[in-house]
Structure 1
Amino acid sequence: MISLDQLRDYMKTQLEEDKRRKLVQVTGQTLEEALQEAAIELGCRIKDLEYEVIEKGSSGFLGMGKKSWLVVASLAVQKVKEEVREEEAGLGIEEMAPVPKDRDGQAFVRLSPDGVYLCVIPPEGKGKPVTERAALEAIARRTDASVDVNLVSKVVRKADGQFVRIAPHSYNPAHDAVLSVNITDGEMRAYLLAQPPREGGTDPTAEMIRDFLKMNGVEYGLKEDVIEEFERNPRYGQEILIAEGTPPRHGEDAKIVYNFETNPSRIRLKERDGRVDYKDLNLVQNVVAGQVLAKKIPPGKGVPGKTVTGKLLPARDGKDLPIPVGKNVKLSEDGMVAVAEINGQVMITGGKITVEPVYTVEGDVSLKTGNILFLGTVIVKGNVEDGFSVKASGNIEVKGSVGKCELDAEGDIVVHQGIAGKSAALIRAGKNVVSRFIENARVEAGEFVLVSDGIINCTVSANKKIICHGRRASIVGGKLIATEEIVAKNLGSVGGIETILEVGYDPRAKEKEEHLSQELEKLQDELKEIMLNLGTLENQRKTQKLSEERLKVYKELLLRRRELSLKVENLQKEIEDTRAYLSQLKTKGRISASGTVFPGVKIVIRDAVLQVKNEFKAVTFISEANMVKVTKYEEPEDLDKLDLLER
């Protein structure tokens, strides 16, 4: 006959063997890429893998002889054992509960219709045994019946955990223990309250408790161990959790596991001797045709729950979620895997996985290359000379410097050396602008502006933050606007150059509102002029017949009035929506300087304004009661752990 231990060992061995058989063979341009693919295949973390390199990859020479890494991987032994233990629990094969080292013996007394019963539990480990005196005291606490002392002594010595009748009992059913039940928490819990028996009454048995609960509607989730313990050692006068329902377990929604960094703006700025090193940005995430970019974990099924009264509680299944794919990415037939169709840069564009090709300029953007307009990412290994433009639907990375030119990218713009705009440069990024320094330029960023050496005489706007961080991190002159925060070492200069810093509202929305207002004013002026001309022509119609030429003009003016009226109405609605958006923005905004704030700096936080007339050291400006308040400098909480600086 097979014992439980033998069965447990056999099933454990089988589970481990099954787990070890889960091997996957994957390829990648690098070892890391191959391991990422294996982790997705096995549904685990890279650190939980064991792998063997079958074939080492090679970058080749000038693109020739390029070879991928070939790896066979499986779950690590320790991880397998953890999962085996989880599966053992699911199969009902659980580790035996550890035996307490030391426990004193116990004596229990039960009153039954046919007599008084005594049970003595032996000690464990170094625990003390029950004495005859302790047993007699336990009996006296429950009844004054005359007991056979010799029999009590035998029960104490034997201590076998069995109830033994030690005395007769004058049974009076009217004096039995009284039970009541309290069903609470939406019928998810039931509490038993028992009042002790009076003279001649008896303790309830486990079966009596079960019958009582059933008669009172409690039929599910009974805590059998509590019931059995109550029968042996009743607890009177206190509510005991006797049954507990099972809440419904809703199915988990489908999840998309991406095999790449979904936030391409996660940049790590490495500071060395007060300077930022951009050589290791690795801004572009390259993929190859056929590479798995994402996998879907399907939605889970819901598991219904049940109340203690037996009512079913429905559970909902998890929601499905399609993998969002854009251009140059295809889905597998079952919709569970997204694969790159071309070599290029993978990114999330418009909420979809997209692969963009990368265009590299080996030298400068100059007369040799002309202006660059590219639907992807552009990497310039030299400089961007004065008078030229680079526009990209992806990112722009310039290894050298940028002069009086235009850079426009839907993603990030990274300039390794710096931007010397000569009061004519325009740098516009849909996400982040990162540069060593920025001088005499206009900069617009959809998210962050990150600079190490300083921002001088610039017009800068960022939908999130402007961070100037480094030994020479100063903001001098110009106008800077950020929705959330502006941070620098020094603000302004000794010479008192006017420096305007504004936070607390969306700069793009504010600019849009101003632009729409200007456009509305022009349309209203034109509409006013048309109304005057129409009035003149209508007066003429009352006294004389209009010529064909004048009648044609009259009809054209009517048509134009209708068009302008509709445009004015739409513009007014758009302006109202924009103003409503600006007014409901919850961000308060703050401006911080770890060094010095010089006179001449103008601080604007939403509607609060402060013209700095005295020098401040290490301060943070915030808004309270519609006034700018100067507080002790607060290290921006995301200066060290800012997601944007982690890559």
Structure 2
Amino acid sequence: MSDMFRLKVAKDSLQAFLTVEEKESDLSLVTEQKIISFLESRGVTFGIQGETVKNITENPELLYNENLIAVGNKPLIGNDGFLKIAITEESDANQEFNYRNVIKIPSVQTGQKIGSIIPPTSGINGKTIFNQELNAVPGKPLKLRMGKNIVEKDGQLYATIDGQLSLTENKINVFPVFEVNGDLDLKTGNITFIGNVVIRGNVPTGYSVHAGGDIKIFGMVEGADLNAGGSIYVSGGIAGSNRGKITAVGDIQASYINQGHVEAGHNIEVKSTILHSFLKAGNQVLCSSGNVIGGCCTAGVSIHTLNLGNEMHSKTEICFNVDLQLLEQEKLLTHQLDQIKTETEKLKIIAEKLTEKYRTTGSLNSQELTLLKRQKITESQLNTQELEVFEQLQEIYRAINKIEQSYLLVNGTIYPNVTITFGKYKRIINSLNKAVKIHMNNKEIVIHSINKSY
């Protein structure tokens, strides 16, 4: 009777489909027990779909088509570790600016708990239809570097000074604060400070502010030089007049950017217009409720805007580029990895020769014993180096492969004379497009309506 059925098993052994072996088979002989016995004879004992078995016995003609008869459990990937902040932002009673609360940076006191490092979860094992265990992939632990004035105890983080919290993608600090109660002028001069800088006014053209932590400005920034080891928050706009440069390791947020040069290691977020500016973000450029007109915007992952270009067809460029420094670093690390493997192979040959001599003669002289001992230590060190270089390469590969997931999202209109570049691939937009997502697909830049599935 078992020859009556045919079983098709998925490659991952998580699904099985049942059909009849021969169209001429006598389907009146099909029973629930015979189906179960057939499955067991093929080793299928887990995830048998009882409702499907019942339907087949009641309607045997279903066997002329494939029936999902058994389903295994996929292993569930564990959650990555993360930092849970234990403090809330404090409001500033003297300021009415509330654009996404970007100007509100939490202040902390000595000994105050800042947050908790939540460990990754191990995930949940799966099981094939053959009742075989599938090991879960555990989540990755949080890679967080302890910065200045932070102490960690049993997974809890505490401040060691009074100051303000500064967070970047993989580093946390508490910095002291330097405040200027008004515009930057000849009296205050340029600022270089190890911690956070707060300016309760404007930063005019020609001035510079360098902060080890965050910079927050309650006015506007003109053609000035700003550099932050953390993030930069500007309650007003940035009117650079093609002078000065604003850079931050973390995020940069402003109301608008006009003729500015702005670079952020993570996100650049703008409330309204980005006009004739050069922007570069390691992660995202977000101008979701405003317009990007003229200039060039570059991002590592995505760019979001309402409208792109304008009715005057101002030349506007959007780029998703692979960081050339990453490519150079990949080349150096690959060469280093090859060297380590070559040295390891040489050490293995030495060990094999010495081991063979000991096996043949039963002894080694003192010089050979010292060489063998040194070989084992060096090989262990090289194995550690090889693992470290390999992990660095994997991080670089992940960063380079981001371009495959990069995209441009325009909720309003893309006007003609917009050039979009993904690495070495380029496409010029010569007609109006509305509400679209643009991304790479099989080495081609494609445009999809965000009102349709893709």
TM-score (norm. length: structure 1): 0.40
Question: 1:65-214 alignment to 2 at 5 Å?
Answer: none
Unaligned runs of 5+ in 1: 1-181, 190-251, 265-271, 301-318, 518-576, 636-647
Secondary structure of 1:402 counterpart: coil
CA distance in 1, matches of 2:303, 2:231: 19
Secondary structure of 2:324 counterpart: helix
Q: Does 1:341 align with 2:176?
A: no
Correspondence 1:288 to 2:109: yes
Give the equivalent residue in structure 1 for 2:440. 623
Q: Deviations over 1:510-553 (max 9, x none)?
A: 36769999xxxxxxxxxxxxxxxxxxxxxxxxxxxxxxxxxxxx
**How far apart, in 2, do the equivalents of 1:491 and 1:479 lie?**
11
Aligned to 2:150: 329
Q: Taking structure 1 as reference, are residues 511 and 598 closer, same or farther at Cα in structure 2, changes over 3 Å only?
A: farther
| 2:261 corresponds to 1:423 | no
208, 213, 220: which one aligns with 1:401: 220
Which of the residues 442, 448, 451 maps onto 2:261? 442
Q: Does the 8 Å CA contact 1:448/1:463 hold for their aligned counterparts?
A: yes
Instruction: Choose the corresponding residue for 1:611, options 396, 403, 428.
Output: 428
Are 2:326 and 2:396, in contact at CA under 8 Å, matched by a contact in 1? Answer: no
Partner of 1:510: 324
Counterpart of 2:312 in 1: which secondary structure? coil
* Counterpart position of 1:6: none
Higher-RCO chain (CA-CA 8 Å, sequence separation at least 6): 2
Shift of 1:598: 1.3
In the TM superposition, residue 379 of structure 1 has moved relative to its aligned partner by 1.1
Matched, 1:601 2:418: yes
Question: 1:322 deviation in Å?
Answer: 12
Larger Rg: 1
Partner letter of residue 396 of structure 1? I
Q: What does residue 195 of structure 2 align with?
A: 376
Q: What is the letter of the counterpart of residue 407 of structure 2?
A: R
Give the superposition deviation at 1:613: 1.3
Contact kept in structure 1, 2:261 and 2:279, CA below 8 Å: yes
Instruction: State the SS of the aligned residue for 1:400.
Output: coil
Give 1:259's aligned residue: 86
User: d(CA) in 1 for partners of 2:87 and 2:188?
Assistant: 32
**How far, CA to CA, are the matches of 2:440 and 2:82 in structure 1?**
41
**Amino acid of the structure 1 residue aligned with 2:165:** V
Residues 632/324 of structure 1: CA separation in 2 closer, same or farther (3 Å cut): closer
What do the CA deviations read for 1:237-293 (whole angstroms, capped 9, x no partner)? xxxxxxxxxxxxxxx9999765247xx9xxxxxxx9xxx943843532211112233
The verdict on how the C-alpha distance between 1:631 and 1:370 changes in structure 2, with shifts beyond 3 A counting, is same
Letter aligned with residue 288 of structure 1? Q
Correspondence for 1:489? 306
Tell me the CA shift for residue 629 of structure 1: 1.7
Q: Deviations over 1:537-586 (max 9, x none)?
A: xxxxxxxxxxxxxxxxxxxxxxxxxxxxxxxxxxxxxxxx8996775446
Aligned match of 1:474 in 284, 288, 291?
Answer: 291
Distance 2:146 2:242 in 1: 41
Query: Contact 1:344–1:355 (CA<8 Å) still a contact in 2?
Result: yes
Judge conservation of contact 1:477–1:500 (CA < 8 Å) in 2: yes
Structure 2: distance between partners of 1:424 and 1:282: 24
The aligned counterpart of 2:279 is 460
Q: Is the 8 A contact 2:166 2:214 kept in 1?
A: no
1:125-174: CA deviations, max 9, x gaps? Answer: xxxxxxxxxxxxxxxxxxxxxxxxxxxxxxxxxxxxxxxxxxxxxxxxxx
Contact conserved, 1:323 with 1:336, CA < 8 A, in 2? no
Cα distance in 1 for partners of 2:252, 2:167 equals 18
Q: Is the 8 A contact 1:401 1:415 kept in 2?
A: yes
Q: 1:338 to 1:634 in 2, by over 3 A?
A: same
| AA of the residue aligned to 1:339 | Y
Instruction: Write the distance in 2 (CA, Å) between the matches of 1:423 and 1:514.
Output: 30
Kept in 1, the 8 Å contact 2:439–2:447? The answer is: yes
The answer to whether the 8 Å contact 1:597/1:617 transfers is yes
User: Does 580-589 or 453-462 show the bigger shift?
Assistant: 580-589
Quick one: distance in 1 between partners of 2:410 and 2:98?
23
Separation of aligned partners in 2, 1:448 and 1:410: 14
Inter-partner Cα distance in structure 2 for 1:597 and 1:321: 39
SS in 1 for 2:189: coil
Deviation of the 1:610 alpha carbon: 1.3
Which amino acid in 2 is paired with 1:377?
N
Corresponding residue for 2:315? 498
Contact 1:435 1:450 in 2 (8 A): yes
Q: Is the 8 A contact 1:293 1:338 kept in 2?
A: yes
Counterpart of 1:632?
449
Shift of 1:388: 0.2
Cα distance in 2 between the residues matched to 1:631 and 1:497: 23
Post-superposition offset of 1:618: 2.1
Identity of aligned residues (%): 28
Q: Which amino acid aligns with 1:631?
A: H
Q: Is the 8 A contact 2:169 2:266 kept in 1?
A: no
Map Cα deviations across residues 27-66 of structure 1 (whole Å, 9 max, x no partner). xxxxxxxxxxxxxxxxxxxxxxxxxxxxxxxxxxxxxxxx
Letter in 2 for 1:370: G
CA contact (8 A) 1:592 1:634 kept: no
AA aligned to 2:216 is: E
Q: CA deviation at 1:428?
A: 0.6
| Aligned residue type for 1:495 | M
Using a 3 Å threshold, how does the CA distance of structure 1 residues 454 and 299 change in structure 2: closer, same or farther? Answer: closer
What is the DSSP-based 3-state SS (H/G/I as helix, E as strand, rest coil) of the residue aligned with 1:591? Answer: strand
CA RMSD of aligned residues (A): 4.3
| C-alpha contact 1:406 1:425 (8 A) present in aligned 2 | yes
- CA 1:624–1:382: 2 relative to 1, 3 Å: same
Deviation at 1:349, TM superposition (A): 6.3
Using the alignment, how far apart are the partners of 2:82 and 2:428 within structure 1?
51
Question: Which letter maps to 2:174?
Answer: V
Partners of 1:478 and 1:282 lie apart in 2 by: 27
Give the equivalent residue in structure 2 for 1:356: 175
Partner AA of 1:436 in structure 2: S
Decide which moves more: 352-361 or 473-482.
352-361
Q: TM-score of the superposition, structure 2-length normalised?
A: 0.56
Change (3 A) 1:342 1:461: same
Q: Is the Cα–Cα contact under 8 Å of residues 601 and 612 in structure 1 kept in the other structure?
A: yes
Q: CA deviation at 1:617?
A: 2.1
Contact 2:300–2:403 (8 Å) recurs in 1 = no
- 2:211 paired with 1:392: yes
Q: Shift of the alpha carbon at 1:442? A: 1.0
